[in-house]
Amino acid sequence: MAEDWLVGGERRDAARERLIAHAAALIARRGLDAFDLDELGRRAHCSRATIYRHAGGRAVLIESVLASTSAPVLDAIRASISDLTGRERARTAIVETLRALRADRVIRQFLRPENLIDATPTVLSSPAVRAVAADLIGVDPDDVVGARFVIRSVLGMLLWPAEPEEEARSAEAIVAGVFGPHITSIDPDDDGPHP
């Protein structure tokens, strides 16, 4: 397709990006359940047919919003663990992932309990999600069991948040589940492992 002089690129790409940006704003403001293509059309000043032509239907748009929103979040998590290895990398990746996912207005809509529970089978069966989890915690990408264990654990922590100290201990317990136990001290008054 030739470059469009008006938008400085391919019109289809510009329209798709604009629709995804509007969809993300609507999801952040009103929630995932209230996301509606008719309202998106009103906000973007286009018809439903234009939305389908340039960005797909509701499900495709939701996937696109999640992909475009999660990319910078993943970049930030990767930056926070870039100099770390082993257990420290895995523990920090888990804690930073929880923090980053909860901090993003759009992603928070996907993390509402009813949405997260409904999406869990898809998340667990996604090779892309497993690859990201394996990369972040530093395990072999072919370690499906380890990656799925971390994903299930993080999903549980997102559904049932705890105080930061307890989440840090939980992250250590997850790391112990993947890398094996490595406890250097035990406090008899505490019920969690410590590095």
pLDDT, tens only, 167-178? 999 999 999 988
> What single letter denotes the amino acid at residue 180?
G
| DSSP per residue, 112-160 | SHHHHHHHHHHHHH-HHHHHHHHHHHT--TT-HHHHHHHHHHHHHHHHS
In sequence order, which residues have a C-beta less than 8 Å from that of residue 48 and are 6 or more positions away? 37, 38, 41
CA separation for the pair 185, 182 (Å, rounded): 9
Site of tokens 């990656």: 147
Residue 83, pLDDT > 80, answer yes
* pLDDT at site 129: 87
Judge residue 191's burial from the number of C-beta atoms within 10 Å of its C-beta, 0-12 exposed, 13-18 middle, 19 or more buried.
Answer: exposed
CA separation for the pair 97, 89 (Å, rounded): 12
pTM, whole model, 2 decimals? Answer: 0.74
Q: What is the pLDDT of residues 55-80, one digit of tens each?
A: 999 989 988 998 888 899 999 999 99
Residue 194, pLDDT > 80, answer no
CA separation for the pair 17, 23 (Å, rounded): 10
* pLDDT at site 182: 56
Q: What is the pLDDT of residues 111-163, one digit of tens each?
A: 888 888 888 887 888 888 888 999 999 888 888 888 899 999 999 999 999 99
* pLDDT at site 67: 85
**Of 89, 55, 96, 44, which Cα lies nearest the Cα of 75?**
96
